[in-house]
Amino acid sequence: MAQPRVIIIGAGPAGVRCAETLVAAGLRPTVVDENRRDGGQIYRRQPGNFTRPYAKLYGTEAASAQALHESFDALRATVDYLPETLAWNIADGKLHVMHNQRTRSLPYDALVICSGATDRLMPVKGWHLAGTYSLGASQIALKAQACAIGRQIVFMGTGPLLYLVASQYVKAGAQVAAVLDTSPFMRRVAALPKLLARPNVLLNGFALVANLKRAGVQVLTGITPMEIKGSPETGVQGVLIHDSRGNERAFECDAVAMGYHLRPETQLADLARCAFRFDHETRQWLPDTGEDGRTSVPGVYLAGDGMKVLGADGAEIGGRLAALALLNDFKLPVSDDEIFALRAQQAAMERFRRGLVQAFPWPAQQAAQLPDDAIVCRCEAITAGELRRVVCDMGAREANRAKALCRVGMGRCQGRYCGHAGAEVIAHAAGVPVEQVGRLRGQAPVRPLPIAVLEEEQ
pLDDT bracket for residue 404 (50, 70, 90): very high
Furthest C-alpha separation in the chain: 70
Residue 278 pLDDT > 60: yes
3-state secondary structure of 423: helix
How far lies 35's CA from each of 117, 194, 310, 365, in Å?
14, 35, 22, 36
pLDDT digits (tens, 9 = 90+) for 154-209: 999 999 999 999 999 998 899 999 999 999 999 999 999 999 999 999 999 999 99
- 96 and 136 inside one domain: no
Beta strands in 114-217 (DSSP E): 117-119, 132-134, 152-158, 175-181
- 268 and 326 inside one domain: yes
- 104 and 206 inside one domain: no
End-of-domain residue from the set 244, 260, 276: 260
- 326 and 299 inside one domain: yes
DSSP 83-115: -S-EEEEEETTEEEEEETTEEEEEE-SEEEE--
The answer as to whether 99 is a domain residue is yes
- Which residues are within 8 A (CB) of 386 and not within 5 positions of it... i.e. 6 or more apart? 406
How far lies 228's CA from each of 9, 179, 249, in Å?
37, 14, 12
Question: Taking residues 12-40, what's their average pLDDT?
Answer: 95
Beta strands in 243-400 (DSSP E): 248-252, 255-260, 262-264, 276-279, 284-287, 300-302, 375-377, 382-383
H/E element holding 405?
A: helix 399-406
pLDDT at 11: 95
Comparing 58-72, 126-140, 329-343, 402-416, which segment has the lowest mean pLDDT?
A: 58-72
Question: Taking residues 48-52, what's their average pLDDT?
Answer: 74
Residue 456 pLDDT > 70: no
| Closest alpha carbon to 320 in 114, 140, 181 | 114
End-of-domain residue from the set 206, 225, 260: 260
- 381 and 281 inside one domain: no
pLDDT bracket for residue 458 (50, 70, 90): low
pLDDT digits (tens, 9 = 90+) for 222-268: 999 999 999 999 999 999 999 999 999 999 999 999 999 999 999 99
pLDDT at 135: 96
- 110 and 11 inside one domain: yes
- 189 and 108 inside one domain: no
- 375 and 282 inside one domain: no
pLDDT at 297: 97
**Number of compact structural domains in the chain:** 3
The answer as to whether 447 is a domain residue is no
Question: Taking residues 366-380, what's their average pLDDT?
Answer: 95
CATH of the domain at 144: 3.50.50.60
pLDDT at 196: 95
Residue 455 pLDDT > 80: no
- 30 and 43 inside one domain: yes
pLDDT bracket for residue 449 (50, 70, 90): confident
Instruction: Quote the pTM value.
Output: 0.92
Main-chain dihedrals φ then ψ at residue 196, nearest 5 degrees: -70, -5
How far lies 66's CA from each of 291, 365, 448, in Å?
28, 40, 32
H/E element holding 326?
A: helix 312-329
- 149 and 239 inside one domain: yes
Residue 319 pLDDT > 90: yes
Residue 284 pLDDT > 60: yes
pLDDT at 437: 97
Question: For residue 192, what are the domain limits?
Answer: 121-260
Residue 298 pLDDT > 60: yes
Question: Taking residues 49-59, what's their average pLDDT?
Answer: 75
What's the rounded Cα separation, in Å, for the pair 341 and 346? 9
Comparing 96-100, 139-143, 229-233, 407-411, which segment has the lowest mean pLDDT?
A: 139-143
Q: Are strands 375-377 and 382-383 parallel, antiparallel or unpaired?
A: antiparallel
- 198 and 83 inside one domain: no
pLDDT at 457: 54
pLDDT digits (tens, 9 = 90+) for 415-437: 999 999 999 999 999 999 999 99
